[in-house]
Amino acid sequence: MSPSLLPDLAHLPVLVVLVAVALVCIGIGAWVGARSAETALIAGWGVAGAATVVVGTLTAVPLPWVMLLLGGIGIAGIGRVIAATFSAQPVMQFGMAARVGLLALPLAAGVESMDATGWDDFSHWLPNLAYLCIHSHFPTLAEPSPSFHPAYPYGLALPGYAYFLLLGSVRDNAAIIWNLILLVAAGAAVATLLLTRLQRSFPDLTGARALPWAAAAIGLLVAGLACPSFVAKIVFSNMADGTTGAVLAVLGLLVFEWVAAINDGDPRRRNRMALAMAFASVALIDLRQANAALLAWLVFGCLLAGCLRRPRLGIADLASLAIVVLLPLVIWWLWNRYAIEQMPGGQFAFLPFSDWHFAEFPDTLRNIVHVMLTKGGLFALILLISIRAALTFRTRDALDAPSRVVLVSAAVVSLCNIGFLAFTYLAADFSVSEARAAATFWRYAGETGPLAVVGFVAAMPLAWLRRVPMVPATVALVGVTLIAPIATVGLYRYDLVSPIPVLRHASEVTAASVPPAAPIHIVDMTGNGFGALVVAYQIAAADYAHGSPVRTTTITSRTAGIPPQDAARIDLTGAPYLWLVEGAPEMDHLVGVQLSAGCSYLLQRQATGFSIVAGWPFSRFMRNDQRTGWSAATGAPCT
């Protein structure tokens, strides 16, 4: 359970299997019109999301059968791609994705052994995956999920679920690796768009061998470590924010190809691109319900750019765009209907008008502006593409239609997302403190970062690139791309200084030490409850891995900590075992045994008080700041 800086064999199967899953998704995507590996990956994943939602919400068919069928379709699709390649009539382009994938190997080596450490990882993303693996269906009223947000869509859980079906274990880093794969797809999308524009602007460069490698290096850098919205704790996690950004970037490329097909007068390719866009859009909304708003703004951007400037979209073009709206809308409606019936209260919701946070809203806006000023890279980029998007509506603007539609769509999505987030802090069911602080605004605003990069690449001037020596520039770009993940590994491997692996190891020892099915009461008095959340998840995961029934665990904690006067009123006798996230000398009258601050404890209930079963040094990286009335850690022995 200790994370390693170097790649290790324990984590390698996850990377290998999920690359295979990605290939299967590419095979599925080939059947629905995608013609490049990066777009086929997202479209095929969207097909899997649509199939599981339709079957899982309308029938009682176990989801493994759906996954088996999807696997067969994907393998058949890969066979079709291989056969077409050998017949000199290829139906899939792997070149750019392969280049970006090769350049991403150092990054993959750095990420391969990462472990989950985030609050949201353990509050709902990992519990959602675990539920799917254990029950083979979505949560129901009869078998509710312990997740904080069981009604979140399960698209991001599907790759981890596929790993479970193949190898029989629930891996907490499956979504981390999937996000790495999608980062490669986003990089390939940026690179493909850049290369296409360069080759159209300078036909004499079409045969230049170095150019695709230069584009691949640029794409991976600006979609990954150099992206203005890149935050390792968000991208390399089980959360769907980095995933959302990558899917939006690939959708930007699909929009470009869709408009290009319209401009070329190719209705068959236009409809094929629209179908691929539709399933890629399903992948987007199968991550979070709120992503439906991002899709709506993307479509609005297409309409705005396509209908207000010549050449305008025709009736047949609008009909093909309707497919992009209707298919995801049906999937979104099916999931929300099921969630309301089977997981009431587990959804994002708006407050009654009388409860809106009007009093806090001025502070909300001030905090949003503060974030925008301190995180200037992303918001400067959004401002830049928004100004350039407005200029495209000039009569004599030189930007071609595909680039114009992508640029305007990227600007519309980015700006509308900021406005929507401000509105949710006013009207949605955030707590008063969350609304006032504009909690997680940066995280949600950053979801549009990769699409903003795509918009910039779609509109950036290209003439100056002719003056850059191609071969030396390519060598330099490839070198930077290969070296950067190695040189900066300490910046994105945040799990190496996390306390979570220590807690998880102690939890696994607990599950092995305590009799199967014996209930455990987990109490966090000095912290905000995150430690207790991790312990509960890991004990349940260890029970399942050992083939034992998942025992009952109850958590007592508060986000502001529990002071001694309130702790005295807690009933600690309800379970035979007590797990203290951190002890303190002042707790001796509560448990009847002397405890040290800076230590986690497993206690067993006796006739009079408790006895210590095991103790572990509390990680120096764990910031338990809720110390009112409790002693600070002194380094005393834990047993």
- Does residue 580 sit in helix, strand or coil? strand
Give the ranges where 499-633 is alpha helix by DSSP (H).
500-513, 530-545, 564-567, 588-591
Residue 311: Cβ within 10 Å count: 11
- Range 160-183 average pLDDT: 97
In the predicted structure, residue 352 carries a pLDDT above the cut 90: yes
| Rounded Cα distance, 533 and 535, in Å | 6
- Range 165-178 average pLDDT: 96
| Rounded Cα distance, 466 and 262, in Å | 29
Q: What is the pLDDT of residues 528-539, one digit of tens each?
A: 899 999 999 999
Res 150: pLDDT: 94
In the predicted structure, residue 147 carries a pLDDT above the cut 70: yes
Q: How confident is the model at residue 466 (pLDDT cuts 50, 70, 90)?
A: confident
Helix H or strand E encompassing 554: strand 553-557
Answer yes or no: are the C-beta atoms of 232 and 494 closer than 8 Å: yes
Q: What is the pLDDT of residues 371-418, one digit of tens each?
A: 999 998 999 999 999 999 999 999 889 899 999 999 999 999 999 999
Q: Which residues pair with 553 in a beta bridge?
A: 520
Q: Of the candidates 84, 74, 85, 83, which has an alpha carbon nearest to the alpha carbon of residue 51? A: 74
- Range 228-241 average pLDDT: 96
| Residue 242: both structure tokens together | 């980095």
Res 634: pLDDT: 67
Q: What is the pLDDT of residues 579-594, one digit of tens each?
A: 999 888 889 889 989 8
Is residue 311 left, alpha or beta, with left meaning phi > 0 and alpha meaning psi from -120 to 50? beta
Q: Of the candidates 277, 279, 286, which has an alpha carbon nearest to the alpha carbon of residue 333? A: 286
Res 312: pLDDT: 86
| Residue 51: both structure tokens together | 């199939």
Q: What is the pLDDT of residues 417-434, one digit of tens each?
A: 999 999 999 999 888 989
Question: What is the average pLDDT score of the chain?
Answer: 93
The dihedrals phi and psi of 610, each to the nearest 5 degrees, come to -130, 160
Q: What is the pLDDT of residues 472-504, one digit of tens each?
A: 999 999 999 999 999 999 889 988 888 888 889
Structure pTM? 0.95
Q: Which of 14-18, 34-38, 505-509 shows the lowest per-residue confidence on average (mean pLDDT)?
A: 505-509
- Does residue 561 sit in helix, strand or coil? coil
Answer yes or no: are the C-beta atoms of 558 and 529 closer than 8 Å: yes
CA 522 from centre of chain: 29
CA 306 from centre of chain: 31
CA 16 from centre of chain: 19
Q: Domain boundaries in the chain?
A: 12-492, 500-617
Q: What is the pLDDT of residues 278-311, one digit of tens each?
A: 999 999 999 998 999 999 999 999 999 988 877 8
| Rounded Cα distance, 420 and 425, in Å | 9
In the predicted structure, residue 639 carries a pLDDT above the cut 80: no
Res 395: pLDDT: 85
| Residue 564: both structure tokens together | 């001694």
